[in-house]
C-alpha cells in the first residue's frame, strides 16, 4: 500500500535566501512570504519573492507579524498597502500572532479582531492565524475564533490544537529544515489535508 503524499510548504522572510526557484518548485506545494511587521515595516525581499513564486507557479501567501503595541487598524492598512490584492492562485493572508510585546494595555482581543475584520473585508477571504499552542490557549479566545484556519508550530512532535479550535490546518514541524532550492535552513510546514483541499483555498 503506497504512502499518502504529504502536502508541504515553507515560510520565509528577508533573512532567508532562495537559491534556485526551479528546484524549490519540486520540493514544496506552497510558500508563505513575510510582507509586513507592526505598522511601518515592510520586508525588503517581499515583492521580488512574491513575483518569483508566481513566475514558477508555486502557490503563494503573504503574512503579517502582528505587534500588540501597535494600532491594529494601521497594521492592517499597512499590510493591505504592501500586498494590494490577492493574485489568482494565491492563498489567504496569515496573521502571525506570537507575542504581546510590551503593550501598556496588555492583551486586547478586540484589537486583534479589528485587524482580522479589516483584512477579511479587503481580501474577501477568511485569514489564517499562526500562533503557538500555549500562547493561544492562555488567551482563552472566544469560540468565534475557530472560524480562522490555524497554523501551530511544534518541533519534533506533532503540535496540539488549542481551544477554541478543534483541528489545525497546518503544523509547522521544523524551523531548521533543509529544503531543496533554499540556501539556508528555514521553517517547514505540513498541510493537514490533501493537495485538492489546499488548492480549494487559492483565489480563482
pLDDT tens digits, one per residue of 121-179: 999 999 999 999 999 999 999 999 999 999 999 999 999 999 999 999 999 999 999 99
Q: Which residues contact 41 (CB under 8 A, 6 or more apart)?
A: none
Mean pLDDT within 178-190: 98
Grid cell, residue 24, equals 524549490
Q: Which homologous superfamily is 20-199 in?
A: Glycosidases (3.20.20.80)
State pTM to two decimals: 0.95
Residue 177 φ/ψ, nearest 5 degrees:
-80, 145
Q: Which residues contact 110 (CB under 8 A, 6 or more apart)?
A: none
Q: How many CB atoms lie within 10 A of CB 57?
A: 10
What confidence score (pLDDT) does residue 1 get? 47
Q: Compute the C-alpha angle 180/184/187, nearest 5°.
A: 80
The tens digit of pLDDT for each residue in 56-92 reads 999 999 999 999 999 999 999 999 999 999 999 999 9
Amino acid at each position: 500500500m503506497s504512502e499518502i503524499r504529504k502536502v508541504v510548504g515553507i515560510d520565509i522572510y528577508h533573512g532567508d535566501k532562495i537559491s534556485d526557484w526551479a528546484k524549490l518548485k519540486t520540493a514544496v506545494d506552497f510558500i508563505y512570504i513575510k510582507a509586513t511587521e507592526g505598522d511601518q515595516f515592510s520586508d525588503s525581499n517581499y515583492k521580488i519573492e512574491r513575483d518569483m513564486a508566481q513566475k514558477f507557479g508555486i502557490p503563494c501567501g503573504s503574512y503579517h507579524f502582528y505587534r500588540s503595541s501597535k494600532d491594529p487598524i494601521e497594521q492592517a492598512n499597512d499590510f493591505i498597502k504592501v500586498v494590494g490584492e490577492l493574485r489568482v492562485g494565491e492563498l489567504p493572508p496569515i496573521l502571525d500572532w506570537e507575542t504581546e510585546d510590551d503593550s501598556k494595555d496588555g492583551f486586547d482581543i478586540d484589537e486583534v479582531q479589528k485587524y482580522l475584520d479589516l483584512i477579511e473585508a479587503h481580501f474577501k477571504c477568511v485569514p489564517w492565524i499562526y500562533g503557538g499552542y500555549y500562547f493561544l490557549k492562555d488567551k482563552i479566545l472566544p469560540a468565534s475564533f475557530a472560524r480562522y484556519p490555524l497554523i501551530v508550530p511544534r518541533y519534533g512532535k506533532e503540535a496540539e490544537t488549542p481551544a477554541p479550535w478543534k483541528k489545525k490546518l497546518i503544523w509547522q514541524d521544523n524551523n531548521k529544515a533543509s529544503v531543496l532550492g533554499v540556501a539556508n535552513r528555514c521553517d517547514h510546514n505540513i498541510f493537514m489535508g490533501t493537495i485538492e483541499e489546499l488548492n480549494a483555498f487559492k483565489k480563482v
